């Protein structure tokens, strides 16, 4: 049987993947065996993470859970490493009364989370333990959410939530670099909860059930739930820190759209546009977390004009990384995605551990 180019590349990279897997496994064993110490926070800790590299929807799900916990009366702190940020060390992105740092210093995802949940404390730091201690001591946090924390096992957690993209098939999963796994599939056994995300609207329930059964075999003690991320509204370019008013999705009707994104799985954004009935006249894609230089913004603006498009449509995460001219800002919108639970939210939200 002749292998495709992707399959051939995966075979070539398999030895590297094997070595990567051994390293990840050895690190986890060192903690399990007590060779490396774990520390506890003074309040309940919820980890939101992946077993695969990027693109499962951690940011909208983190926002959804933070909003639910805040609405229940808890002081929430969200801790992130701040991948791609231009600052060093510990930084308070939001103090519970709004954003206190620039997007460049915060990193795009922590900044976006801080904008979406202004009542939450958001801190970036490579040490989750250090930021957890500060969140409790200085800001009175009653519950901590670790953004992308599944592999950061030095800090103990009460709930380990792992997101699994519906489009990823366990039987075909391989370790990086030949696949998308950060660690062997057996790592799912550490999860207290698994959330299957990005389930297409028209998916047959039997397909969802099949995947959930596969995941249940890998993580027999985990509670499994499912959701999809649906477009809720559009938002415009933020001017001088002021958030614009929501724009109805119907405003896209009849417009020529220029699509731009720099996310882990850009095909997902094109799928969102397709669901909205939009077929872009031009599609531009950059690497995940890409910081747009002034020269690139100028080039994009020139390309936008040349395309004859009416609007540039992007993601929320990309919008906060853009410094646009006034004329371009007026024609740039981002699609805001919200978490729609198919099974209902995870059961741990009703746990007595959270004090609710």
Same domain, 255 and 330: yes
Q: How confident is the model at residue 26 (pLDDT cuts 50, 70, 90)?
A: low
* Residue 238: per-residue pLDDT: 66
> Residues 82, 106: contact at Cβ < 8 Å?
yes
In the predicted model, what is the mean pLDDT of residues 175-192?
93
* Residue 9: per-residue pLDDT: 42
Q: What is the pTM of this model?
A: 0.89
Q: How confident is the model at residue 39 (pLDDT cuts 50, 70, 90)?
A: confident
Same domain, 344 and 250: no
Q: How confident is the model at residue 239 (pLDDT cuts 50, 70, 90)?
A: low
With 60 as the cut, is the pLDDT of residue 6 above it?
Answer: no
With 50 as the cut, is the pLDDT of residue 300 above it?
Answer: yes
Residue 4 lies inside a defined structural domain of this protein: no
- The C-alpha atoms of residue 133 and residue 82 are separated, in whole angstroms, by 17
Percent of the chain predicted with pLDDT > 90: 82
Same domain, 225 and 321: no
With 50 as the cut, is the pLDDT of residue 302 above it?
Answer: yes
- The C-alpha atoms of residue 350 and residue 336 are separated, in whole angstroms, by 27
Residue 28 lies inside a defined structural domain of this protein: no
Name the maximum alpha-carbon separation found in the chain: 62
Same domain, 239 and 219: no
Q: What is the mean pLDDT of the chain?
A: 89
Same domain, 70 and 219: yes
323-345 pLDDT tens trace: 999 999 999 999 999 999 999 99
Choice among 157-166, 235-244, 249-258 with the minimum mean pLDDT? 235-244
Q: How confident is the model at residue 322 (pLDDT cuts 50, 70, 90)?
A: very high
With 60 as the cut, is the pLDDT of residue 80 above it?
Answer: yes
Same domain, 65 and 210: yes
Same domain, 55 and 151: yes
Residue 162 lies inside a defined structural domain of this protein: yes
With 50 as the cut, is the pLDDT of residue 14 above it?
Answer: no
| Residue 19 or 143, more confident | 143
Same domain, 147 and 79: yes
Choice among 19-28, 278-287, 312-321 with the minimum mean pLDDT? 19-28
Same domain, 198 and 67: yes
Task: Kindly report the CATH number assigned to the domain that includes residue 266.
Answer: 3.40.50
| Residue 19 or 262, more confident | 262
Same domain, 102 and 221: yes
Residue 249 lies inside a defined structural domain of this protein: yes
DSSP-derived pairing of the beta strands 121-124 and 91-95: antiparallel
Residue 8 lies inside a defined structural domain of this protein: no
* Residue 5: per-residue pLDDT: 43
Q: How many domains does the chain have?
A: 2
Residue 3 lies inside a defined structural domain of this protein: no
* 177: preceding bond cis by omega (within 30 degrees): yes
Same domain, 319 and 184: no
Same domain, 207 and 251: no
Residue-number span of the structural domain to which 78 is assigned: 45-229+340-354
In the predicted model, what is the mean pLDDT of residues 76-94?
96
| Residue 39 or 1, more confident | 39
- The C-alpha atoms of residue 195 and residue 342 are separated, in whole angstroms, by 10
Which residues have CB under 8 Å from 298's CB, separation 6+?
none
Q: In terms of Cα–Cα distance, which of 259, 255, 256, 258 is closest to 267?
A: 259
């Amino acid at each position: 049987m002749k292998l495709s180019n992707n399959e051939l590349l995966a075979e070539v990279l398999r030895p590297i993947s094997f070595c990567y897997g051994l390293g990840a496994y050895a690190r986890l064993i060192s903690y399990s065996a007590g060779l490396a110490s774990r520390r506890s926070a003074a309040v309940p800790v919820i980890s939101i993470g992946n077993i695969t590299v990027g693109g499962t929807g951690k940011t909208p799900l983190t926002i959804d859970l933070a909003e639910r916990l805040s609405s229940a009366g808890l002081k929430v702190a969200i801790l992130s490493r701040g991948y791609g940020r231009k600052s060093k060390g510990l930084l308070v992105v939001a103090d519970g009364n709004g954003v206190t740092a620039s997007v460049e210093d915060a990193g795009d995802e922590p900044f976006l989370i801080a904008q979406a949940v202004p009542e939450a404390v958001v801190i970036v730091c490579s040490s989750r333990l250090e930021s957890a201690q500060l969140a409790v001591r200085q800001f009175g946090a009653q519950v901590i959410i670790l953004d992308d924390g599944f592999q950061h096992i030095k800090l103990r957690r009460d709930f380990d939530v792992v997101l699994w993209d519906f489009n990823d098939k366990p039987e075909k999963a391989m370790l990086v670099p030949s696949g998308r796994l950060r660690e062997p599939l057996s790592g799912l056994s550490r999860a207290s909860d698994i959330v299957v995300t990005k389930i297409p609207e028209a998916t047959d329930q039997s397909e969802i059930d099949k995947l959930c059964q596969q995941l249940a075999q890998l993580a027999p003690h985990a509670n499994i739930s499912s959701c999809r991320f649906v477009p809720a509204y559009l938002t415009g370019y933020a001017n001088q820190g002021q958030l614009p008013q929501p724009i109805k999705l119907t405003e896209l009707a009849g417009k020529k759209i220029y699509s731009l994104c720099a996310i882990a799985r850009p095909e997902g954004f094109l799928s969102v546009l397709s669901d909205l009935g939009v077929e872009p006249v031009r599609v531009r894609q950059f690497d995940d977390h890409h910081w747009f230089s002034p020269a690139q913004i100028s080039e994009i603006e020139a390309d936008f004009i040349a395309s004859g498009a009416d609007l540039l449509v992007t993601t929320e995460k990309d919008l906060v990384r853009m410094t646009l001219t006034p004329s371009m800002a007026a024609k740039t919108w981002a699609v805001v995605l919200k978490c729609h639970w198919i099974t209902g939210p995870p059961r741990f939200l009703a746990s007595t551990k959270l004090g609710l």
